[in-house]
Amino acid sequence: MVPPRTRTALLSLLGVLALAGTAAAQNFESAPQLSPVFRAGGSFLIDLVVGGILVAAAPGYTRDAIAEIRNDPGGSFLWGLGVGIGGLIVLVLLAITIIGLLVAIPGFLAFILLSIVGGGPVARPHPR
């Protein structure tokens, strides 16, 4: 009789090998792509809507946040980078568990939205 641990490893290997043909047969060239102009326009519209909501809902907070970013741009960049990388690591660790998926899926959606909004000022030149 084969020990259970070896049997599990063997069945896992057979499962991966059985799916290798399906994975190799995928056609990635036919996926529709949006042009960079449409993506930039979509990013601009999302920035406009979210920024308008933020200014309307909390004008004092918006003024204070802009002042802090202008006073210490390096620190703001490092905080954003650390929160972005750390947040992704936490979401991936949460996604490992079934219960964590309830938090991880909305977290990933929020991360994508914040990435689009946060990437907007980087994608457009700042007038001086």
Task: Collapse the DSSP code of 70 into the 3-class scheme (helix H, G, I; strand E, B; otherwise coil) and give the result.
Answer: helix
Predicted model pTM: 0.48
Is the predicted pLDDT of residue 57 greater than 60, yes or no?
Answer: yes
Is residue 104 within 8 Å of residue 84, measured between CB atoms?
no
Same-domain check for residues 103 and 91: yes
| Highest averaged pLDDT of the listed ranges 2-16, 35-49, 88-102 | 88-102
Examine residue 3 and state whether it is found in any structural domain, yes or no: no
Residues near 117 by beta carbon (within 8 Å), at least 6 away in sequence: 46, 47, 50, 51
Examine residue 85 and state whether it is found in any structural domain, yes or no: yes
Residues near 25 by beta carbon (within 8 Å), at least 6 away in sequence: none
pLDDT of residue 30: 62
Residues near 55 by beta carbon (within 8 Å), at least 6 away in sequence: 62
Sign of the dihedral through C-alpha 110, 47, 45, 29: negative
pLDDT of residue 125: 52
pLDDT of residue 89: 92
Same-domain check for residues 67 and 43: yes
Count up the domains in the chain and report the number: 2
Q: Give, in order, the Cα–Cα distances in Å from 70 to each of 63, 64, 74, 82, 83.
A: 11, 10, 9, 19, 19
Examine residue 66 and state whether it is found in any structural domain, yes or no: yes
What is the domain range of residue 41? 37-71
Same-domain check for residues 90 and 67: no
Examine residue 90 and state whether it is found in any structural domain, yes or no: yes
Please state the separation of Cα 45 from the chain's center in Å.
Answer: 18
Same-domain check for residues 54 and 66: yes
Is the predicted pLDDT of residue 73 greater than 80, yes or no?
Answer: yes
- Mean pLDDT for the stretch of residues 38-48: 80
Is residue 94 within 8 Å of residue 110, measured between CB atoms?
no
Same-domain check for residues 111 and 101: yes
